[in-house]
Structure 1
Amino acid sequence: MSGWVTACRLEDIEQEGVLRFDHGSRTFAVYRGPDDSVWCTDVLCTHEAVHLADGLVMDFEIECPKHAGAFDYRTGEAVRLPPCVNLRTCPAEVVDGEVRIAIG
């Protein structure tokens, strides 16, 4: 399981929004930035394994719905406690209106 896969259409994600994407045995969070850029991270918060796809996206941050910790989804960096471990990220792109992520 490697290479680029289509996760959704760009229009499926609101600006400053997040969408859960399942592929094989992995689950991802796919984000649309305020500038229509797209990004992808693992979906589980590194603090208590809560689904970030249920979190609040503001600017380029995702806030965990359980303890309000936050990550910069462009880099995966934990930017507000309680998480102190960064998220894994995957490259993402838009091709002909489709959001694709590189997994592997």
Structure 2
Amino acid sequence: MSEGWMDVAAQADLPADDVIAVRAGNREIALYAVDGEVFATDNICTHGHARLCDGFLEGTEIECPLHQGRFDIRTGKALCSPLTEDVRSFPVRIVDNRVWVQVE
């Protein structure tokens, strides 16, 4: 695998239509499994210091558990107030039923 790619989870460990937290080096990543696809973002909300894995996933939007701001999990785009900054998203690959995230 190319530089910067990290093996973070088995694909079977991802619950369908839900989010989990994983470690990628010293970074905590939120992994989302939606409609057969896997997406990855930083796990900390850009507005308040809340973990997105504790939020509510609806379709391709994650709602922060602290102030109910929502991000698009595909792009990290902030979708509503009180959010003013996007969350970082990361490329994802599935190789041999393992989830790989490019963090750098």
Aligned to 1:53, the other structure's residue is in SS state helix
TM-score (norm 1): 0.91
Aligned to 1:78, the other structure's residue is in SS state coil
* Structure 1, gaps ≥5 residues long: none
Match status 1:91 vs 2:91: yes
Distance 2:18 2:10 in 1: 13
Aligned pairs for 1:1-104 (under 5 A) are 2-33=3-34, 35-104=35-104
**What residue identity is the alignment partner of 1:66?**
L
**What residue identity is the alignment partner of 2:11?**
L
Distance 2:15 2:78 in 1: 23
Distance 1:50 1:94 in 2: 28
User: Is the contact made by 2:92 and 2:102 (CA closer than 8 Å) also made in structure 1?
Assistant: yes
Distance 1:30 1:72 in 2: 13
User: Is the contact made by 1:16 and 1:60 (CA closer than 8 Å) also made in structure 2?
Assistant: no
Identity score, percent? 36
Q: CA deviation digits over 1:39-96, x for unaligned, max 9?
A: 1111100111210011111100111011111100100001122112001111002112
How far 1:23 sits from its partner (Å)?
A: 2.5
**How big is the alpha-carbon RMSD for the aligned residues of Structure 1 and Structure 2?**
1.2
Task: Find runs of 4+ consecutive structure 1 residues off by over 4 angstroms.
Answer: none
**What residue identity is the alignment partner of 1:47?**
H
TM-score (norm 2): 0.91
How far 1:5 sits from its partner (Å)?
A: 1.1
